[in-house]
Structure 1
């Protein structure tokens, strides 16, 4: 058994890393922080220009790559490019790429929104784990960070597609952590509430829902930089679940203690808020 996880291995320091969705928000923060810790970073994003901007922030320790995580061959190509550039397999993989969808109740949410959300938020992470986990096993060390959300367990109304995609990422991460236990390869799943990013700036979020999310982000949102640092520190400790904000921790506990009461109260609160 590899005992490195039990002795505070500094996996995220001087690590060769791949970050998806690295063109902005939490992904960019992960890439910049990993480089600050002495590593080299492949910054992948479906927006090639945004990925290049992140690389310009970092310098010659970073490489940009366009990647649509919903396409398995793109993710496989990403792993090959990273391995060629590093001269070895990646040490750390951050499956971060995701989109925000919400505002409609189940039945009114277009099936195209369901498909788009699951393609990126769920299949993107599945592809990342499917492609990189075997390479990490062969490498014998390193880790995977999957970015989920407090939505994975909070299940707020009018966010069904997003909730389902993130709940599945949580389950996937827990399964992978069990499969890799004792191997020296760590798995961490990040479940934040509001982070000050541009995730709601898209046409997949209904207008009133976007206004509410903008207010909540302004009042309770934290910086992506602090979330990235907290998550990478937790990953170094071998921590599986990362809930970086007090409200996420509170909801996590309440949901598990009184799931029925929590769900009914959340539904009433959501209607009053609208």
Structure 2
């Protein structure tokens, strides 16, 4: 079932400082590290190439660069901001992560970037596949908003027109934690159902990178169609090329919305 929640509608751990690690220091991981650090959380960032590979700007709100081993020790939540399929390289690392640590997956499956994954092409749900690679449950969040949207359009709770981000997962308490963190990054969290439903927020469905509000997002999630959305995804490179050499964020969002009109 798809339901929407405004901040405060569920019992989120409001005001609690959390120990969070972000694995991956690219555009998404960097955004999350900065925003969660600015929200007052204890944030660590790890890159597979080592702490020295984390750009200084990622640490500007107080996050610390650490090793991968350090990133999974004594953390309330670990956010995976890594390419789809790379979780296979973290299986041994996560074998020692306590069951109570919330693991959040932000990845998206793009065959032209990661190569075709047979299991996903055969129908496996992307984040269910990631969960199986890690050998533990995950929550899906932050994958359905462009990096530039996340960087520039987060606003305080209650701001009219605030963009919503879908959050899917099977463990309700872990999902509530993820929803609180989405709120802390400047977006309304929307309960998008079980992890098996997370295909509804994957590329290139009506809910994917279309900057919808909390009132609009549930209908977009419900309108997702796996066959049509896969076809839209396959045509993305052609449609993106049609935007010209220097498309704006607004151009890209409109392109995504137009694909489902």
Scaled by the length of structure 2, what TM-score is found? 0.50
Q: 1:130 to 1:190 in 2, by over 3 A?
A: farther
Q: Is the 8 A contact 2:21 2:79 kept in 1?
A: yes
- In 2, distance between residues paired with 1:13 and 1:163? 41
Question: 1:90 Cα shift?
Answer: 0.8
Unaligned runs of 5+ in 2: 1-8, 156-163, 168-177, 183-188, 202-206, 243-261
SS at match of 1:9: coil
Q: Is 1:161 aligned with 2:114? A: yes
- In the alignment, which residue of structure 2 is the partner of 1:207? none
Cα-Cα RMSD:
4.8
Among 111, 126, 131, the alignment partner of 2:88 is 126
Q: Give the drift of 1:159.
A: 1.6
Aligned counterpart, 1:115: none
1:233 alignment partner in structure 2: 179
Distance 1:173 1:265 in 2: 20
**Do the aligned residues in 2 keep the contact of 1:17 with 1:42 (CA within 8 Å)?**
yes
**Length-normalised TM-score, structure 1:** 0.48
Paired residues, what number?
Answer: 186
**How far does residue 161 in structure 1 lie from its aligned partner after superposition?**
3.2
Q: Cα offset for 1:147?
A: 1.6
Alignment of 1:169-248 (within 5 A): 169-173=126-130, 180=137, 187-192=139-144, 194-196=146-148, 222-224=149-151, 226=153, 230=165, 232-233=178-179, 240=195, 241=198, 245-246=209-210
> Which residue is 2:185 aligned to?
none
Q: Which has the larger radius of gyration?
A: 1
Structure 1 portions without partners, runs of 5+: 1-5, 67-74, 84-88, 99-120, 181-185, 197-221
**What is the deviation of 1:264?**
8.5
Q: Does the alignment pair 1:33 with 2:3?
A: no
